C-alpha cells in the first residue's frame, strides 16, 4: 500500500498563487468551492451594503466583502472567507494591507447556498466563534431567516417581519429580515 502525502499550503503561498478559482485554506489544504449562485450574491451584497453604510457613517471600523480572507489558524494555516464581515476600528491597525486579515472578523456573515448542508454552514459558523468572532449571522434565503449566533448563547432565529437590532458590535444598527430577502 502506497500512501501519498499532500503538500500543505501556507497562507502566504495561497496569497501568491495565480487565481485558481474560489477557494479556502483549511488546516493547510486548499478546498475548492463553486461560484455562488445569483440569489446568494444578492443576499450577501445586500447585507454587506447595509452593514457598510452604517459602519462607514458611524466610523466603527471596516466592512469586508465576500472572498476576503481571514487567517484564523497557523501551522497548518487556515484562511476562511465569509460572505460579508465587520472588523472594529481598534483591530484594524494603522492601515489595511494586501495580506489576509490576521484573525477572525468581529462579525462574520454566512449566506447558505442550496448545495450547502446545514452541518457545513453550522461548522463554519462554529469555527468563526471558536477562533474569536463575537457574532455570526447565517442568512438562509430558502427559509428567509437570519440566525444570530454568539458564544455561550442559544441561536436567535429571525424570520419575516423581524428586525436585527441591539447588536452589541453595532450600536443603533437595525436591519429588517424582509429587506435582506426582498428580490427585485
In a domain, 59, yes or no: yes
In a domain, 1, yes or no: no
34, three cell numbers? 463553486
What CATH number is given to the structural domain containing 134?
A: 3.90.1570.10
In a domain, 3, yes or no: no
Distances (CA, A) of 154 to 110, 147, 149, 157: 18, 10, 7, 9
In a domain, 16, yes or no: yes
In a domain, 90, yes or no: yes
Domain range for 16 is: 11-181
133, three cell numbers? 468572532
> What's the CA gap between 99 and 2, in Å, rounded?
37
Quote the number of domains for the chain.
Answer: 1
In a domain, 6, yes or no: no
In a domain, 2, yes or no: no
Strand spans (E) along 15-75: 23-26, 29-32, 61-65, 70-73
Give the pLDDT of the chain (184 residues) as one tens digit per residue: 444 457 899 999 998 987 767 889 999 999 888 888 999 999 999 999 999 999 999 999 999 999 899 999 999 999 999 999 999 999 998 888 889 999 999 999 999 988 788 899 999 999 999 999 999 999 999 999 999 999 999 999 999 999 999 999 999 999 999 999 998 7
Residue 53: CB atoms within 10 A of its CB come to 12
Amino acid at each position: 500500500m502506497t500512501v501519498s502525502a499532500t503538500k500543505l499550503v501556507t497562507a502566504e503561498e495561497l496569497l501568491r498563487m495565480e487565481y485558481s478559482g474560489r477557494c479556502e485554506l483549511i488546516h493547510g489544504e486548499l478546498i475548492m468551492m463553486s461560484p455562488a449562485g445569483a440569489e446568494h450574491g444578492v443576499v450577501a451584497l445586500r447585507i454587506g451594503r447595509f452593514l457598510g453604510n452604517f459602519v462607514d457613517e458611524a466610523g466603527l471600523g471596516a466592512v469586508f466583502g465576500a472572498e476576503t480572507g481571514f487567517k484564523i489558524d497557523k501551522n497548518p494555516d487556515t484562511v476562511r472567507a465569509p460572505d460579508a464581515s465587520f472588523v472594529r476600528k481598534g483591530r484594524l491597525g494603522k492601515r489595511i494591507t494586501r495580506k489576509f486579515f490576521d484573525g477572525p472578523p468581529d462579525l462574520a456573515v454566512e449566506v447558505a447556498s442550496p448545495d450547502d448542508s446545514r452541518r457545513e454552514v453550522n461548522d463554519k459558523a462554529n469555527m468563526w466563534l471558536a477562533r474569536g468572532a463575537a457574532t455570526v449571522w447565517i442568512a438562509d434565503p430558502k427559509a428567509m431567516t437570519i440566525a444570530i449566533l454568539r458564544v455561550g448563547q442559544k441561536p436567535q432565529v429571525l424570520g419575516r417581519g423581524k428586525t436585527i437590532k441591539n447588536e452589541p458590535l453595532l450600536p443603533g444598527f437595525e436591519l429588517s429580515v424582509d429587506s435582506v430577502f426582498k428580490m427585485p
